[in-house]
Amino acid sequence: MVEVNEKIAIEHGLKKEEFKKICDLLKRTPNITELGIFSAMWNEHCSYKSSRLHLKKLHTKGDQVIQGPGENAGVVDIEDNDAIVFKIESHNHPSFIEPYQGAATGVGGIMRDVFTMGARPIANLNSIHFGSPDHEKTRNLLRGVVKGIGGYGNCIGVPTIAGQTCFDESYNGNILVNAMTLGLVNKNKIFYSKAAGINKPVIYVGSKTGRDGIHGASMASAIFDDKIEEKKPTVQVGDPFTEKLLLEACLELMAGKSIISIQDMGAAGLTSSSIEMASKGNLGIEIDLTKVPCREEKMTPYEIMLSESQERMLIVLEKGKEGEAKKIFDKWNLDFAVIGKTTDSKKIELFFKNEKVAEIPIDFLAESAPMYDRKWIKAKLPKENKFTKDQFKSLKLSDCLKKVLVDPNIVDKEWIWDQYDHTVMGDTIQKPGGNAGVVRVHGTNKAVAAAVDSSATYCHAHPLTGGKQVVCESWRNMISVGAKPIAITNCLNFGNPEKERNMGEFVECVEGITEASKYLDYPVVSGNVSFYNETKDKGIKPTPSIGGIGLLSDYKKMMTMELKNEGNYLFVVGKTEGHLDQSIFARNILFEFNGPPPEINLFNEKQNGMSILNLKKENLIETCHDVSLGGILTAVSKMSIKGNKGVKLFSIDGLVNKFEYFFGEDQGRYIIEIKPDNLEKVEKMLKKDSIHFDKLGIIESNQITYGNDLKISIDDIKEGYKNWLKKYMVN
Amino acid sequence: MKSSVIIFPGSNCDRDMDVALRKFGFKNQMVWHNDSEIPKSDLIVLPGGFSYGDYLRCGSIAGKSRIIKSVIDFANSGGLVLGICNGFQILTETGLLPGILQQNKYLNFICKNVFVKIKNKENKYFKNIKKEVLELHIAHNEGNYFCSKDELKLIEDNSQIAVTYCDQKGNDDEANNPNGALKNIAGIFNKDKNILGMMPHPERMIDPFLSGEDGSIFFENLIGS
């Protein structure tokens, strides 16, 4: 057996002081298995040691919240005894090393989190970020990640209904892969990870344990250097077929009454799942590692405890129900083994070949885990740019529009979502490419909307504003399909928390998220944190991804974004101030990369959003799209392309020039389509609520026109927008 | 009409097919792959999905499963057997239908609406359908139909081509071929036309709020036949 010392502890990613604390707690030096367990539980990924202090501030309560953060996933009430279980999670580090398997197992892991709670997954989403399109690795990483996400989700038969893809050079050495799943459950049949009762059998089900993924969680807690290729063996390998069987078998077992608690083996595998169950139940747990089904020969206790082999679950059963449960897993051809029992020792005790190989009080691993109040610095709001008339003088609207529409962050992403099965399960009523994905709640009139958003550019420029903005954008996506926003899940992707600037970005983004979600009553119910997204000292831009969900009580009232009928009018709801700093226009046309992000006014945000829902309730809106990246003209173009109809834009008046008006990225705005008959009613309702709106234009012909300044056909703008990504990928 | 949908481990369109069949009046029952007998049925459906993970070759393990002997017997006695997507792949693996389904030409999974042209209406599957072109949905990685020259000649001589990929107007040329399938073949019959295998999923097109409604036309005709 390996002699444990400080050097070995440091190789396990522990700090010198942390190793000393372990020895002090145990009053002895841990053996290698115990050290492995400590390192797995105390790393950033599992212990949230840098983030815990700040995550406590998140707004997590609300009337519809059944379960907030702290469980496998969050749960919200959607009436009639139905509940939605949902969560987003990162799989960044493995995906950069091995894009297919990294992304695939990310999808597998998040689906397990959801069905562990008794819910059948009904939709998948993802948010993926890549380096600059010019970077040599980007194309292959994108291809691998998309294939991995598709390969897993398509095989399981859960539709991928929405997502987001961004490109920015800050991800050149650290891509982001965030996967989100929604599941449907009867609110009286939710399963939790808290164990209860002593002497209850602990059951292992699913795939066999192999040597893959050992120390995966530690890798996810470290920065990359030149030797990342050597870390390939720490990436897990996914088997979606087994997961499909595991899903069906678990749901079959859950229909009965034999499960006390259940936990999937995710990061840090058997270690974290067993400790979490015991810790939450304030119990001890005893496991005989000889009984764990293994795929490879001569696996040591250390390897068995730290393996991150996929598609495995740990269950605490009612005593005497083992036979009944085994029958179900036999039917689905899955391994089933009684590997231990719950105890009242409040310790984790491991046996191997009749010998005790580890004994650690659970408290040492969970509650005594380090928590750091890391130093951070507050970001200053950058100075606004003053653009001069000269900068706009030689610009033409049509040229600018064409350029903006082929920005990789704007272009159509069909090449990606065509590869995801988005229609299986027969309830997808809004496909990817719209404001949000929408699936019906099977067999009812209800539907659930979901979207993922991030805006690293804004967060980078000013983290507090950026944090608020992402939540608002998510809220707007829900409103735009006619759904009442319910709750969010957040995936917080940041750089190195040991650097004050990165830590500050984290703290202030969380603050922004909290402020907005509180004001909008849009609570955070689940999520995860991914730090150390840094390679060779270069960190990513702060990237909180927000996954939002909303409820439509009547799916037939869902809104879409494509223009419907000629002769209908378009309004912009919300005020346009012409904010160009940090916009796509500023970057691509003015080559200006500094300045503050657009300001968030939560009062207006809420008012504007609610007014849209009120108008929809009265059936006064035909189409709705929120205005985001690229401003009004980009939004109108996308609506035109999707509906294959042109728009005559009315002349603008006010203090801003046409470029500021059409490309500014002011927040809290929507474009709506209104029938001529309803114009008066809409104006009246908006005025009554003191909502600012502009009459934007009228739908006609097959071109977008603005007086003599712009005349461009749909086909002309469609070409670049629709084909950019396809062309990029075949090159 | 009584129908049976076979569930293999890894099937994932079994529920969708069940929902569709019931919607159009079939008395449907689900049959487990490890059973050896199929309850009395007028129609057997092999649904889409990834049977046994499709780890060897799509449909090949399912083609050797315990239930499959009953499916073959039923088909050989003239019963209606419909294989959709993975079900089509399984039917070719059992030899009930000629040819094979290879990986898509551009090596990507494809999920989208397509148009298919009905090539033969002298059979129970398409008999009373008035339209010549249906809009259906595909979602597959291995839908690129291929067979030998001799087999193709037999297939064509016996009018076994059921549907071909085309555009809205029915042009089934190379420009409208999503996956590289030989002759744009999206679905074929056996010689007697009681067995149909096709890649498109009619069960995903049974509601105006889904991708479309042409799947309804398919099932309405089938229940009436």
In sequence order, what DSSP letters do the residues of chain B get, joined into one string?
A: -EEEEEEPTTB-SHHHHHHHHHHTT-EEEEEETT-S---S-SEEEE--B-GGGG-SSTTTTGGGSTTHHHHHHHHHTT-EEEEETHHHHHHHHHTSS-SEEE--TTSS-EEEEEEEEE---SSTTTTT---SEEEEEEEES--EEE--HHHHHHHHHTT-EEEEEE-TT---SGGG-SS--GGGEEEEE-TTS-EEEESS-GGG-SBTTTTBSHHHHHHHHHHH-
Task: Report the DSSP pairing between strands A703-706 and A647-649.
Answer: parallel
Alpha-carbon gap, residue B159 to B161, rounded angstroms: 6
Radius of gyration of chain B (CA): 16
Answer whether residue B203 shows pLDDT above 70. Answer: yes
Report residue A222's pLDDT band, with 50, 70 and 90 as the boundaries: low
CB atoms within 10 A of CB A607: 17
More confident site: A595 or A231: A595
DSSP summary character for residue B99: S
Nearest Cα to A420, choosing from A228, A145, A731?
A145
Contact A155 B16 (CB under 8 A): no
Q: CB-based contact (8 Å) between A425 and chain B? A: yes
- Cβ A697 vs Cβ A637: under 8 Å: no
Contact B139 A423 (CB under 8 A): yes
- Residues A43-91: pLDDT tens digits? 988 889 999 999 999 999 999 999 999 999 999 999 999 999 999 999 9
Answer whether residue A720 shows pLDDT above 60. Answer: yes
- Residues A355-407: pLDDT tens digits? 999 999 999 998 899 999 999 999 999 999 999 999 999 999 999 999 999 99
The encoded tokens of residue A515 equal 């402020």
Alpha-carbon gap, residue A471 to B85, rounded angstroms: 40
- Cβ A99 vs Cβ A144: under 8 Å: yes
Alpha-carbon gap, residue B45 to B180, rounded angstroms: 26
Report residue A231's pLDDT band, with 50, 70 and 90 as the boundaries: low
Radius of gyration of chain A (CA): 26
Contact B209 A555 (CB under 8 A): yes
Q: How far is CA B56 from the centre of its chain?
A: 21
Residue B179 with chain A: CB contacts under 8 Å: none
> Quick one: chain B helix, strand, coil %, rounded to 5?
30, 30, 45
Contact B50 A242 (CB under 8 A): no
More confident site: A212 or A346: A346
Q: Which of B33, B137, B140, B201 is catalytic?
A: B201
Residue A151 with chain B: CB contacts under 8 Å: 109
Report residue A730's pLDDT band, with 50, 70 and 90 as the boundaries: confident
Q: Which residue of A has its CA nearest to B141?
A: A419
Alpha-carbon gap, residue A464 to A507, rounded angstroms: 9
Q: CB-based contact (8 Å) between B110 and chain A? A: yes
Give B106 to chain A, closest Cα distance, Å.
Answer: 10
Q: How far is CA A388 from the centre of its chain?
A: 40
Model's pTM, two decimal places? 0.95
Residues in chain B, overall count: 225
Q: CB-based contact (8 Å) between B168 and chain A? A: no
What is the structure's pLDDT at B15? Answer: 97
More confident site: B208 or B117: B117
Q: CB-based contact (8 Å) between A420 and chain B? A: yes
What does the pLDDT average to over B195-221?
Answer: 94
Q: Which of A54, A91, A460, A462 is catalytic?
A: A91
Residue A241 with chain B: CB contacts under 8 Å: 9-10, 50, 52-55
Alpha-carbon gap, residue A582 to A598, rounded angstroms: 8
What is the structure's pLDDT at A667? Answer: 98
Q: CB-based contact (8 Å) between B9 and chain A? A: yes
Contact A418 B209 (CB under 8 A): no
What is the structure's pLDDT at A731? Answer: 72
Residue B48 with chain A: CB contacts under 8 Å: 424
Answer whether residue A37 shows pLDDT above 80. Answer: yes
Interface of A with B in 132-151 (CB under 8 A): 147, 150-151
The encoded tokens of residue B12 equal 């994932």
What is the structure's pLDDT at A227? Answer: 63
Cα separations in angstroms, A628 against A263, A410, A595, B60: 39, 10, 18, 48
H/E run at residue B195: strand B195-198
Contact A244 B108 (CB under 8 A): no
Burial per residue of A269-302, b for 16 or more beta-carbon CB atoms within 10 angstroms, e otherwise: bbbbbbbbbbbbbebbbbbbbeebbbeeeebbbb
Give me the residue label for tokens 């067993």.
Answer: A274
B151 is annotated as an active-site residue = no
Alpha-carbon gap, residue A485 to A470, rounded angstroms: 14
Mean pLDDT, chain A, whole residue set: 95
| Chain A with chain B: Cβ pairs closer than 8 A | 86
H/E run at residue A699: strand A693-699
**Best A423, A427, A429, A446 residue to mutate vs chain B (most B CBs within 10 Å):** A423
CB-based contacts of A297: which residues, under 8 Å, 6+ apart? none
Alpha-carbon gap, residue A170 to A187, rounded angstroms: 42
Closest by Cβ to B9, choosing from A239, A332, A422: A332
Phi and psi at residue A177, in whole multiples of 5°?
-130, 105
What is the structure's pLDDT at A538? Answer: 87
Closest by Cβ to B204, choosing from A240, A418, A426: A426
Report residue A212's pLDDT band, with 50, 70 and 90 as the boundaries: confident
What is the structure's pLDDT at A156? Answer: 97
- Residues B7-19: pLDDT tens digits? 999 999 999 999 9
Cα separations in angstroms, A722 against A563, A574, A630, A719: 17, 28, 16, 6
Per the DSSP assignment, residues forming a β-bridge with A312 are A206
Answer whether residue A480 shows pLDDT above 70. Answer: yes
Domains of chain B: 2-224 (3.40.50.880)
Report residue B212's pLDDT band, with 50, 70 and 90 as the boundaries: confident
Report residue B106's pLDDT band, with 50, 70 and 90 as the boundaries: confident
DSSP secondary structure letters along A346-394: -EEEEEETTEEEEEEEHHHHTTTS--------PPPPPPPP---HHHHHT
B203 is annotated as an active-site residue = yes
Alpha-carbon gap, residue B210 to B20, rounded angstroms: 12
Task: Report the DSSP pairing between strands A160-167 and A120-130.
Answer: parallel
Alpha-carbon gap, residue A157 to A121, rounded angstroms: 9
What is the structure's pLDDT at A213? Answer: 75
Q: CB-based contact (8 Å) between B50 and chain A? A: yes
Answer whether residue B86 shows pLDDT above 70. Answer: yes
H/E run at residue A185: strand A176-186
- Cβ A299 vs Cβ A357: under 8 Å: no
Alpha-carbon gap, residue A315 to A140, rounded angstroms: 39
Contact A426 B19 (CB under 8 A): yes
Q: CB-based contact (8 Å) between B210 and chain A? A: yes
- Mapped onto helix, strand or coil, the DSSP state of residue A47 is helix
Residue B178 with chain A: CB contacts under 8 Å: none
Q: Which of B13, B85, B147, B166 is catalytic?
A: B85
Alpha-carbon gap, residue A291 to A425, rounded angstroms: 38
- Cβ A119 vs Cβ A131: under 8 Å: no
What is the structure's pLDDT at A229? Answer: 61
Burial per residue of B135-159, b for 16 or more beta-carbon CB atoms within 10 angstroms, e otherwise: bbbbbbbbbbbbbeeeebeebeeee
